[in-house]
């Protein structure tokens, strides 16, 4: 399963990319609004820094304007994935962009039917927002399971990109279901890296090494 970082923060992107655990980036207007500086510049810098796919979201709502934005975003780099909302005009945009070999990520997916139609229109990725479903008392992971099952049944190549992830269990369950990608806010990646038994075990090893250093004063690797 691929791991994308769900952020527009370049420091976080650099920090986790250096660990070799980031396959791509997803952004949206809300994430960009949390960062200082010009959002266009930020998007361009992310695209240049990352080798993998970077989802950049269009904000227009009519077909012509959406196409204009999508084509402009696609010029930021070969790794750009145009993020398109799940609307009727959005589907037309997905069809047109994918016919031009431009990758798309259909966002704000809340039902398996929406995912199926987005895939049919030619989406590279569909993004079910599972945390927001949980928020309204609907099991978000059930949606991932449905989409994965449907795509497998019909050999659909569109990738399931699990978004709106709120805790590490969302990641484990998505992986077990066979989701292609999860996109994670940096704090969730932190939680996945850390474990109290790792910290405790490391303290023990380091303390024991200090004892050895006392016994052998010129101990060096």
Among 110, 125, 129, 151, binds ligand G3P (CB under 6 A): 129
Q: Is 164 in the site for ligand G3P (CB under 6 A)?
A: yes
Q: Is 191 in the site for ligand G3P (CB under 6 A)?
A: no
The piece of 72-80, 125-133, 138-146, 197-205 that touches ligand G3P (CB under 6 A) is 125-133
The piece of 128-136, 146-154, 186-194, 210-218 that touches ligand G3P (CB under 6 A) is 128-136
Any idea of the CA torsion for 43, 167, 135, 113, to the nearest 10 degrees?
Answer: 70
Check: CB of residue 106 under 8 Å from CB of residue 123.
yes
The piece of 10-18, 111-119, 129-137, 145-153 that touches ligand G3P (CB under 6 A) is 129-137
Number of residues that bind ligand G3P (CB under 6 A): 9
Q: What is the DSSP string of 146-203?
A: HHHHHHHHTT---EEEEBS--SHHHHHHHHHHT-SEEEE-HHHHHHHH--HHHHHHHH
Q: Is 131 in the site for ligand G3P (CB under 6 A)?
A: yes
Check: CB of residue 58 under 8 Å from CB of residue 82.
yes
Check: CB of residue 104 under 8 Å from CB of residue 82.
yes
Query: Could you list the active site residues?
Result: 83
Measured from the CB atom, the residue of 137 and 196 that comes closer to ligand G3P is 137
Please state, in angstroms and as integers, the Cα–Cα distance from residue 26 to each residue in 7, 14, 29, 64, 162, following that order. Answer: 6, 14, 11, 24, 11
Binding mask 25-64 for ligand G3P (x = CB under 6 A): -x-x------------------------------------
Binding mask 73-102 for ligand G3P (x = CB under 6 A): ------------------------------
Measured from the CB atom, the residue of 5 and 96 that comes closer to ligand G3P is 5
SS3 52: coil
Interface residues with ligand G3P (CB under 6 A) are 6, 26, 28, 129, 131-132, 163-164, 183
């Amino acid at each position: 399963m691929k791991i994308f970082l769900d952020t527009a923060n370049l420091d976080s992107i650099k920090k986790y990319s250096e660990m070799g655990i980031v396959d791509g980036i997803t952004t949206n207007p809300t994430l960009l609004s949390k960062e200082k500086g010009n959002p266009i510049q930020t998007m361009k810098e992310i695209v240049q820094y990352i080798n993998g796919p970077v989802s950049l979201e269009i904000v227009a709502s009519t077909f012509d304007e959406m196409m204009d934005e999508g084509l402009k975003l696609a010029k930021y780099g070969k790794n750009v994935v145009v993020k398109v909302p799940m609307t009727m005009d959005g589907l037309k945009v997905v069809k047109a962009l994918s016919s031009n070999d431009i990758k798309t990520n259909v966002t704000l997916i809340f039902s398996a039917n929406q995912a199926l139609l987005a895939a049919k229109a030619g989406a590279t990725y569909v993004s079910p927002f599972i945390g927001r479903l949980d928020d309204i008392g609907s099991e978000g992971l059930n949606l991932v399971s449905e989409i994965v099952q449907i795509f497998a049944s019909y050999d659909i190549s569109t990738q399931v990109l699990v978004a709106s992830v709120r805790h590490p269990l969302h990641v484990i369950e998505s992986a077990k279901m066979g989701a292609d990608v999860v996109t994670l806010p940096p704090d969730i990646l932190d939680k996945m890296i850390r474990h109290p038994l790792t910290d405790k075990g490391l303290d023990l090893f380091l303390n024991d090494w200090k004892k050895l250093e006392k016994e052998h004063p010129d101990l060096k690797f």
